[in-house]
Amino acid sequence: MYNDVIKEMEKYAEENSVPIMQKRSMTFLCKFIKKNNIKRILEIGTAIGYSAINMALVDENIEIVSIERDQDKYIEAIKNIKKCNLDKRISLILGDALNLELEGKYDMIFIDAAKGQYLNFFNKYKENLVDDGFVISDNIEFHGHVENYDKIENRNLRQLVGKLIKYIEFLKENDEYETKFYKVGDGLAITYKKGEVDE
Ligand SMILES: C[S@@+](CC[C@H](N)C(=O)[O-])C[C@H]1O[C@@H](n2cnc3c(N)ncnc32)[C@H](O)[C@@H]1O
């Protein structure tokens, strides 16, 4: 049943140009969640619920709160989550993640929303992370644009990629947090507090 819904979502995403997580990154992330026994996840950027559903299926005790600001995508995500009977474990919030105040702590925060806002998402939600938790940032290579920043001619894209590069520098030079970068899919960064996680 789940497999059919997941395939339908992949088709829908392709036909409607909805950017969902690449399959290889999805598999990588699901393995990471299992290996680290992650149970409470905050996702920023639900889109149609593809990654939320995949993450919830890793273990029946996983609970996810996911934020989406686009109403049409939010409605589509609700439908998909219901089809998988996961509505008790995946809670969706419709709104701009930068304007919300969430209580509670999460084992993992998955950032997969507006690329120019990663640093703001990180700073806003870091207090919602347990001490030995992880922040995962997707699309950290941004389709090769990060590496080829100097060749970008479009002003808006340059600005966007520039912000992502600042976020990467922030992660690399951080005194409090350690980050590992993975060349999987569109690039993933895994960040955790120094001294809190056994490597
Ligand atoms: C790459 S898609 C998410 C894909 C999803 N995580 C998946 O793999 O199935 C990014 C989503 O983030 C949403 N988004 C962007 N900025 C946001 C914000 N500030 N607050 C909430 N949602 C946001 C967009 O509307 C879009 O649907």
Q: C-alpha distances in angstroms, 23 versus 29, 51, 125, 166, 179?
A: 10, 10, 26, 27, 22
pLDDT tens readout for residues 139-165 = 999 989 999 999 999 999 999 999 999
Atom of ligand 1 nearest to the CA of 19: 1
Domains and CATH numbers, the chain: 2-193 (3.40.50.150)
Average pLDDT over residues 8-21: 97
Distance from the alpha carbon of residue 154 to the mean position of ligand 1, in angstroms: 22
pLDDT of residue 189: 98
pLDDT digit string, tens, across residues 23-67: 999 999 999 999 999 999 999 999 999 999 999 999 999 999 999
Q: Which contacts (CB < 8 Å, 24+ apart) does range 57-62 have?
A: 57/2, 57/30, 57/84, 57/86, 58/30, 58/33, 58/34, 59/33, 59/34, 60/89, 62/33, 62/38, 62/89
Q: How far apart are CA 148 and CA 183, in angstroms?
A: 16
Distance 13 CA to ligand 1 centre (A): 13
Q: Is 140 in the pocket of ligand 1 (CB under 6 A)?
A: no
CA dist., res. 109 & res. 7, Å (int): 25
Query: How does the average pLDDT of the chain come out, rounded?
Result: 96
Give residue-wise pLDDT tens across range 76-99. Answer: 999 999 999 999 999 999 999 999
Instruction: Write out pLDDT tens, residues 170-196.
Output: 999 999 999 999 999 999 999 999 988
- The backbone torsions φ and ψ at residue 54, rounded to the nearest 5 degrees and listed phi first, read -60, -40
Q: Please work out whether the CB of residue 51 comes within 6 Å of at least one atom of ligand 1.
A: yes
Residue nearest to atom 4 of ligand 1 (CA): 20
